[in-house]
Structure 1
Amino acid sequence: MSENGTDGPCCGTSQAAEQARACCDPGARTEVVAAGASCCGTADTSAVNDDTVAVPTVEAAGYAGRVDGPHPVVVIGAGPVGLAAAAHLHERGLPFTVLEAGPSAGAAVTEWGHVRLFSPWRYNVDHAARRLLAAADWAAPDPEVLPTGADLVEAYLRPLAKLPQIAPHVRYDASVVAIGRVGVDRVRTAGRASVPFVVRLATGQDVLASAVIDASGTWRTPSMLGANGLPAHGETDPQTVRLTAGALPDVLGADRGRFAGRHTVVVGAGHSAANTLLALAELAEQEPGTTITWATRGGSIDRAIGGGDADALPGRGALGSGIKLLVDSGRVRLVTGFAVHAVTAVDGHAELTASDGRTLTADRIVAATGFRPDHTLAAELRLDLDPALGCTRTLAPLIDPNEHSCGTVRPHGVDELTQPEPGYFAVGMKSYGRAPTFLMATGYEQVRSIAAALAGDWAAARDVQLDLPETGVCSATQGYKTMLDDAAARYGLAPDIPGRLISAALRHLPAAGTVAAATRAAANELGIDPDIALHLAALAGDQFDTTAQNTADAALSRAEPGLVTVSTDGGCCG
């Protein structure tokens, strides 16, 4: 026992006292930790030892009670998570201001508006936002349909932003360039938590805030082509930049002319790459001379394929199944282990050189290499970031992409998002740093928890609950049908053709031996172009049920060596 009657030794810092539960009686210890000091030493944000990281709680950061005073909570970004934060702050009776860099709500989402999400509407509408919209007689979309980014903006974000409870508090064309504190820089500790934030805009105007919820996302800060995280040699040269598109170009729409009749190399192995590959494959059927190479840093495409048919989000499972089929059928050339070292523009073409000396020549490059957070806005705030992912240290092990998929992230809220800077929270995509496992539903729960904490309702703040689909546990939804309907309509086919094609392919599968061969046989039977049929099959992985897979497994076990097959841990299309 220590001399003051508590368990454990007397420690020298408030963080050490908090972790060791020592030095002070429980009531006094809570008070001194909340104040940023201890009964036996001064506050310190360093680790107690090399193996233990001091993790601040919200109370320790200065928010043990309700946010009050003359200044609003500033939310940066009017995307899905930023507007959800506004809805929850409104329900809590907390004043707020939303600062959006673009001209309208969901400005960043609009830029990838042609892309269909792999989560259906039921995961994409925040609960507080739904309550506000329902009171205004909002016509809710079908919960099982997969929206596009444009659908998300038009049917949800803009109606939400126009509500009288939200609209007066949103400022557009308000780009935030820096965040600080009134009268104190990052070094000063005394009185820090009691002074308001200064949120500086590109115009030079300062906006004062009681707290800051940064939902600015990562769309504007893509990762580099270079395999080491740095720009590849020559990547930023103007001629190379003109030949390179960012993630998710509108291949079948606004950007069609850039890719039609050309050879495109897609670099990356995530869902952005998969979406682009599927779109390019469709373009190749419509525009002669369009060819596709898929270059991945890793030695396999397992990450992009993901859960296949076993994925609880059918849109995501079909995505992985589809690109596997495109590779197996030869419509997409796959080059693995290609770590980009340099990019050179020569006579209107781009030459990519890998670290091992291999080269690829392309007319166009799509850099689908992921995104990273920009923390320079908060350079004058006290942040403690995970050295690998760039998120809070507490959140990092919960979202590590080496261990987790979108559906296996444990619910988390205000405690996991708290930084040493009192009242600053990065949420949404930005909160995940470089981890690609984020779902909008996760962001909605984050801001619900934070709003409750800022209102002083700790019971609600820490009652963190989240219903996420988990890869490997199949869920019966109809969302994948929308992707099929889209493709059939673009090809000018009758709405019943995808279903008839799948049924016919299943009949041919035992004799054909591979999905690609079965699909071509079904196409001949129905009078459909075989390559178009393969693209439809690539989008329909979830239609091939377990019975069909068992039949396929039996057929493949009898097939001659050398036949191109699909893996048996997924469905017939992946």
Structure 2
Amino acid sequence: MDTERIIIIGGGPVGIEAALYGRFLGYDVTVLEKGTVGEQVQSWGHVKMFSPFGMNSSRLGRSALLAQSPDLELPDEDELIDGERWLREYIIPLATSDLLSNSIRTESAVKSVGRTWLSKGHLPSDERDACEFRVLAETPEGEEVFNAEYVIDASGVLGQPRHLGAGGVPAIGESAADVFCGVPNSQKCEQMSNARILVVGNGHSAATTINHLQSLNQRSPETQISWVVRQNTKAPIKVIDDDPLSHRHEIATSANAAVRDGNVDLHPHCTVDKISGTGPYIVTLLQWDDDDDSSLEIEVDFIIKNTGYRPDMSILTETQVHLCYATDGPIKLAAQLLGNTSEDCTQIDAGGADTLLNPEPDLFVLGSKSFGRNSNFLFHTGLNQIRDAFTIIGQRDDLDLYETIEPT
């Protein structure tokens, strides 16, 4: 029997780990990455992760690197590292290892996924299962078609930020404004020295941004920071009781303290309605009130968006992937996640292999993209998804390379 082929869309951390797993099992793996390996990680490379290296690497990956380079010094498993170091010391070495280097096609953007001889409306799943996938990609040599028995979409969500306005609709003037998306690095922070800065968002990315700007404020006391959050609270970031991740606890408490101590001007229960000007900007905020909604105008020099991300499912429109109307993620996993009530992403139960199944057989959406608009994804969850996907592909419920590989 010919070696079965797997196309993996996305050369980020989950895509690289999935490729490694597939290559270890003897599959013919091709990774199609629209840019460079780990390109999106570079955008937040200066940010220290709140989960330790042991949760952001696999036993399989560490063993593969040490087998090829026995003298390699990897970070300690309990060490907190930033994205740049994760990329430099783990993701890139995996991608350039002997096992994977010939399997990765960079600058190869997938444009569409379908079946070779069947349209989306062809219903019998057994016939779809017997028909190989046809993947169209734009490569440096032009458009190419790749065929495979399996497709794993691990293309992530970074690069598709949610809008600033109410209801997920763009604010008036948002597209014309120079809005920075993400957590500013030290160079970007220095550009904002002694300026008026607006931060929009209420997750840990927004809290990290606030903490970075607080460091700037200590050096440049004329810096003014405003923070817009949708919830009606004086403490924007939920502090998890007995948080198992100490750095996450530190991020939350520090950001809340900045508000409590008056170093940040908080605008709770608000959304951005309109952005006027070309910098400085007049930003109109809508404030929700039980009795009467009101508006407020503030003048700022910089706007930072930390509103989360949404998946781009356009490459899968010719496949029978059933998406959730609320999260834009695959429906089975979305239903599982909507049933989770924990505010701690380390306690999220992704439900196992069954939640990865779609009406489209042999197509799997893994990583942050599988969570859709849900921001509770952790890389460790992605590793579990990889293991579960290959139990389906290999038709072996007991298949778990992360357990069978000897510890490093």
Q: TM-score, normalised by structure 1?
A: 0.65
**d(CA) in 1 for partners of 2:330, 2:359:** 10
Which of residues 159, 172, 182 is equivalent to 2:93? 159
Q: Which has the higher strand share?
A: 2
Q: Match of 2:183?
A: 248
2:315 is aligned with 1:383: no
CA-to-partner distance for each residue in 1:235-285, whole Å, 9 max, x for gaps? 112xx1x2x1002122x12x2343112111100000110010000010111
Match of 1:328 among 260, 271, 291: 260
Question: What residue in structure 2 maps to residue 526 of structure 1?
Answer: none
Task: Give distance in 1, aligned partners of 2:271 and 2:63.
Answer: 48
Match of 1:225 in 2: 164
Contact 2:333 2:350 in 1 (8 A): no
CA contact (8 A) 1:342 1:354 kept: no
Partners in 1 of 2:24 and 2:3 — Cα distance? 18
- Residues of 1 paired with 2:234 and 2:97: CA distance? 44
If asked which structure has higher relative contact order (CA below 8 Å, sep 6+), I would say: 2
Note the C-alpha offset of 1:402: 7.3
Amino acid at match of 1:381: T
Shift in CA distance, 124/347, structure 1 to aligned 2, threshold 3 Å:
closer
Residues 1:208 and 2:147 aligned together: yes
Whether contact under 8 Å (1:412, 1:464) holds in the other structure is no
Alpha-carbon distance in 2 for matches of 1:303, 1:374? 28
2:200: which partner in 1? 267
* Matches of 2:75 and 2:212, distance apart in 1: 25
Task: Report the Cα offset of residue 301 of structure 1.
Answer: 5.7
1:177-192 aligned within 5 A? 177-190=111-124, 191-192=127-128
Matched, 1:396 2:334: yes
| Equivalent of residue 364 in structure 2, options 425, 429, 435 | 425
Deviation string, structure 1 residues 53-89 (Cα, Å, up to 9, x no partner): xxxxxxxxxxxxxxx7465201111211111101111
Q: What is the percent sequence identity of the aligned residues? A: 30
Q: In 2, distance between residues paired with 1:464 and 1:389?
A: 30
* Aligned equivalent of 1:8: none
CA distance in 2, matches of 1:314, 1:354: 35
Deviations 1:388-427 (A, max 9, x none): 1122222224323972330221253331111111111111
SS at match of 1:168: helix
Alignment of 1:134-533 (within 5 A): 134-136=66-68, 137=70, 138-190=72-124, 191-202=127-138, 203-237=142-176, 240=177, 242=178, 244-250=179-185, 252-253=186-187, 255-300=188-233, 304-307=237-240, 310-345=242-277, 348-354=280-286, 356-400=294-338, 403-404=341-342, 405-460=344-399
Given candidates 33, 50, 53, the residue that maps to 1:100 is 33
Further displaced range: 437-446 or 90-99: 90-99
Q: CA deviation at 1:429?
A: 0.4
Equivalent in 97, 100, 123 of residue 55 of structure 2: 123
Structure 2: which 5+ runs fail to align?
288-293, 404-408
Greater displacement, 334-343 / 150-159: 334-343
How many residue pairs match? The answer is 389
Contact 1:401 1:435 in 2 (8 A): no
1:326 shift after superposition:
1.1
In our comparison, the structure showing a higher alpha carbon Rg is 1
CA distance in 2, matches of 1:347, 1:312: 42
SS in 1 for 2:88: helix
* Secondary structure of 1:294's aligned partner: strand
- Contact 1:69 1:210 (8 Å CA) reproduced: no
Q: CA deviation at 1:189?
A: 2.9
Give the alignment's Cα RMSD to 1 decimal.
2.1
Secondary structure at 1:460's aligned position in 2? coil
- Cα distance in 2 between the residues matched to 1:347 and 1:424: 46
User: Which region of structure 1 is more displaced relative to structure 2, 322-331 or 366-375?
Assistant: 322-331
* Structure with greater helix percent: 1
Deviations, residues 8-46 of structure 1 (Å, cap 9, x unaligned): xxxxxxxxxxxxxxxxxxxxxxxxxxxxxxxxxxxxxxx
Q: CA deviation at 1:455?
A: 1.7
Contact 1:413 1:450 in 2 (8 A): no
Note the C-alpha offset of 1:348.
Answer: 3.1
- CA distance in structure 2 between the partners assigned to 1:302 and 1:394 by the alignment: 33
Query: Unpaired segments of 5 or more residues in structure 1?
Result: 1-67, 466-574
**Moved beyond 4 Å, runs of 4+:** 68-71
- Tell me the residue number matched to 2:290: none
Distance 2:285 2:350 in 1: 42
Aligned 8 A contact 2:270 2:286 in 1: yes
Task: Identify the residue that residue 533 of structure 1 maps to in structure 2.
Answer: none
CA contact (8 A) 2:280 2:302 kept: no
Name the CA distance, whole Å, in 2 between partners of 1:184 and 1:393. 23
Cα 1:402/1:247, change in 2 over 3 Å:
farther
Change (3 A) 1:346 1:164: closer
CA distance in 2, matches of 1:306, 1:178: 42
